[in-house]
Amino acid sequence: MRFLPTPRGAEGYVAVDKPSGVAVHGPNGLLHELREKFGAGVALVHRLDKETSGVLLVAKNTEALRAALDAWPVSVTKTYRAVTRGVPVPREGVVTEKLLEHRTGKPELLKRALKAAYGPARTGHLLSGRRVGAIPQIPAPGRTAVHPAGREARTSYRVLEDRGETALVELTPETGRMHQLRVHLAHLGTPLLGDPLYDIARTPSTPAPVLHAARLVWTGPPGGAAAWTWEAAPPAAARVGP
């Protein structure tokens, strides 16, 4: 585990450069390791999918966690890099499609969203797998889909490098839905290359997905600093140039 430098005044937090393919939760997850090192009070400020590498921020105590969660919606900017199958068109833009999440640990959230949009009867049909008029099918457990019953979601993106059949894309999520970047990229028709859930052209020879949390900036944090910044150098596949 590689720790990232701590900005002055941010001693209540620890940031690590999470490797791709390493889970955050579970007996061998990063959170377990961090709690062994820093104590049981360590808590995740945000999440990264198993396939995602880069900046992962945790709070050392409840006070630090509360401050981060309060600031997250308005004062924290996260920047990612992704290698996509194909080149997004246009090369820069904002994706605003709503996302419906099917969290395996919180199935009631899906049911609540469907009831609010379609009422109890149609929700029952949708949950049983039946088609209901023109309503799109719901995502499978553990997946997210663009769906009119979903929550608001917003992702800014720009192409950093056109590689012909692939591209290096910079992404900035303005909301925090499950698999948001991966689903929004797939919606553009340029999924994360090798994504095991959303790259339908993936084959056994497809390279492992590259989705890297390159930078996290907290503007106006506690203590009077202008900003706290954590950065994790991208892997070779996520760098611009030869």
Q: Are 99 and 151 in contact (CB under 8 A)?
A: yes
For the question of residue 49 being annotated catalytic, the response is yes
Distance, in Å, from the CA atom of 212 to the CA atom of 215, rounded to the nearest integer, reads 9
Residue of 49, 70, 162, 199 marked catalytic = 49
Name the amino acid, one letter, at 232: A
Q: How far is CA 192 from CA 86, 124, 182, 224, in A?
A: 9, 33, 6, 38
Mention every residue, 6+ apart, whose C-beta is less than 8 A from residue 52. Answer: 18, 20, 80, 211, 212, 213
Q: Are the C-beta atoms of residues 47 and 152 closer than 8 Å to each other?
A: no
What contacts 20, CB < 8 A, 6 or more positions away?
A: 51, 52, 53, 208, 209, 210, 211, 212, 235
Give the burial string for 107-125 (b: 16+ CB within 10 Å, else e).
eeebbebbbebbeeebbee
Residues with active-site annotation: 49
